[in-house]
Each structure stands twice: as structure tokens, then as C-alpha cells.
Amino acid sequence: MTTTALLSRDPAAPFSIEDVEVDTPRAGEILVRIEAVGICHTDLVTRAAGGADRPVLLGHEGAGVVEAVGADAGPVRAGDRVVLTFRHCGQCASCRGGRPAYCRRSMALNQFGSRPDRTPRITAGGLPVRDGFFGQSSFAGYALSTPDNTVVVDEGTDPVLAAPLGCGFQTGAGAVLNVLRPEPDAALVVYGAGAVGMAGVLAARVAGIEQIIVVEPNGARRELALSLGAVAAIDPARGETTEVIRDVTAGGATHALDTTGSATVLAQAAAALAVGGTVVAVGLGAGVPAIDLRDIVLGGKTVRGCLEGDADPHTFIPHLLELHAAGRFPIDRLVAAYSHTDIRSALEDQRAGHVVKPVLTW
């Protein structure tokens, strides 16, 4: 199958639009015709990581229609509309316990996992492409996935809206609905109003929370957060945020979601919690947060991490789509579609804050 793909041949260079050959699906594989794919920060971080094993095919928020299936591909059938998400083994203790994001084989399956026999799934100019990113590498017109990371959705689902549910929206919404689980009288602070943070804001509205505060340096995103239900949007560039949050919440946040991956911000989020408060960190950053142990212990506070919203994608993604259909989860306010040939504009608009979640179409 010949199709176009966005390849990374140099971590410092733009993506290149090239023809690639996608193999027919083998046992346990599913060939998906990609209609839309979200651009996630993880794609860009991975592209910039360097390494000699190029070209690399990224993309891990794909949505489309099943073109063909190999043997032992489970209940997925040709013609099914699907959303692609992260891989998991389904057999380890975490998977059996309903927490597939913490699968013991997660790194091997999601970080460019290859076929057991090492034969290439995708080639460019006759040479293998490094693929298998999150078990999909969906920056292409076709992708090979597996039953564990292929979620069947309703036939009428808009792929542009559904694609980001595979990772970013799932992460933010799940962190609120599955982990924090705040009551309506909670005071929630969201640090970072990108795609993950904004999905957290929308999920908080689903939970009935009225006191939602956003901390975000970009003015346009602060305005959007306010229009989506936040009662306050704080610019961290104007000074330390802890006292401001304590003032707005009359004592501190009961819950916080840190999407930034910044150790400094996580420490600030913990400091701004009320007694018994919880902060969940979802951003993969670096560094050690300067958290006051006495404050954590004496305040009975909780600091914990969260991957992929602690979600089971096969149930959570359809649930979020149902919420959207009911008008309760307006992700259409966050998404903008671009042709995959216009990826430069999509990235520029995202960096400038004009767009929360750019989605590429094929």
C-alpha cells in the first residue's frame, strides 16, 4: 500500500512529506486508513530527541477506518471506524487490574515496538522506516495497529474530534474524572492550558465543579479557559501564583492538575493545596520538585503521577464521545483541522497559542 507520510529524517529539520509503502496486515495486525491524527507534544519531543536510527515515523493520536485485518485481530472488522491509542499487553498485573497505561511491557510496546521477526512494516525508497510509535505511527495515510490499541467507535464519529482522545484529551479528562474525582464543591487548579489541561477543564465541568482556576502564560488560552468555565485565569509571568490561588480559593485548592512537566510548577501546585488536597502530575519532565515534606505531612496532602488518564481506552474513549454528543464535553472548541501537507502552519499556530490542538487530515 503506497501512501504519504510525515517522516523525520533530522531532529533539527522540519517533517518531510514522502511516499512510503505500508505492508499488508499480518496475524494480530490491523490496517487503518487514517483520516485524522492529532499533533501531541510527545511527538515533537521524540522527534527532537535525536538518534541515528532514521527516518522516524511518529503520530499516536490516529483515527480512521479499518481497511483490512490479519488473522487473530479480535473483534475488529473491515469498515469499522476506530480511534488509535496506546498499546498494552493485557496480561500483566496492571493490565489485569484495569490499569493498562501502567503495563509492564509499555516501553517495549509503545516506543517503536517492532514485529517479532523484525521484518519492516513500513519502507521508504525500499529502506525500513522506524515505526511502531505507540503501536501505530499514524502520521501517514495508513497505519498498522493491533487489537489492544484500536478502539471501535460509532460510524458517525467525526475523526477530527475523535483523534485527540487517543492520548491528549484522554489524559487530561481521565486525570480529573478517574484520578482526582472531585466533588462539585471542589476548587480545582489546572496548570497549563494546552490540550491536556483544557481537556481537564472540560472534565471538571462534567463533574459539576464551578471553582476552576487555570494557570497559563498565553493570553489567548487564558481567555479560552474563561469562556469554557474557569472562574479565574492566572498569568504566572506576573509573579508567584501560590498566594493568588489561596486568595481565590479562600485557603487553597482541594485538587490540582499539573500538565507542564516542570518540577518547579509541581512544587508550586503542592504548596497551593489546602489541607488534604491532591495534585496529579501528567507531564513527563525532568528535575526534582522542591516540595516541603513538613507541608505535605502536616497538611495531609497527596502528590501522585498519572499516565493516559488512568483510563481503559476501550471504555473511556466511547464515554467521552458520548459526553461530547450530549453537549457536555465540547472538545470542538479546542480542535482545528489542517491538511497534513500544511503541518508547518499547524505547528506555528500551536506554538503561538492560536490553536490548542491541531489535527492533521489525510
What tens digit of pLDDT does each residue of 38-71 get? 999 999 999 988 665 789 999 999 999 999 999 9
Report the pLDDT value the prediction gives residue 52, as an integer from 0 to 100.
59
Alpha carbon distance 195, 331 (integer Å):
9
Give the residue among 134, 138, 139, 132 at the shortest CA–CA distance from 118.
132
Report the pLDDT value the prediction gives residue 51, as an integer from 0 to 100.
63
Total residue count of the chain as it appears in this document: 362
Give residue 283's Cα distance to chain centre: 10
Q: What is the CATH number of domain 173-306?
A: 3.40.50.720
Contacts of residue 132, Cβ cutoff 8 Å, sequence gap at least 6: 112, 113, 114, 121
Q: Which residues pair with 149 in a beta bridge?
A: none
Sign of the CA dihedral with 334 first, then 339, 344, and 345 last = negative
Bond preceding residue 358 cis, omega within 30 of 0: no
End-to-end CA distance of the chain: 15
- Amino acid at position 102, single letter: Y
Structural domain boundaries in the chain:
2-166+330-361, 173-306
Alpha carbon distance 89, 307 (integer Å):
16
Write down the residue that cell numbers 495497529 correspond to.
145
Q: What is the CATH number of domain 2-166+330-361?
A: 3.90.180.10
Report the pLDDT value the prediction gives residue 235, as an integer from 0 to 100.
97
Report the pLDDT value the prediction gives residue 54, as an integer from 0 to 100.
82
Parts of the chain with a pLDDT under 70 = 50-52
Domains 2-166+330-361 and 173-306 share a fold: no
Query: Model-level pTM?
Result: 0.96
Output the nine-digit C-alpha cell for 290: 522542591
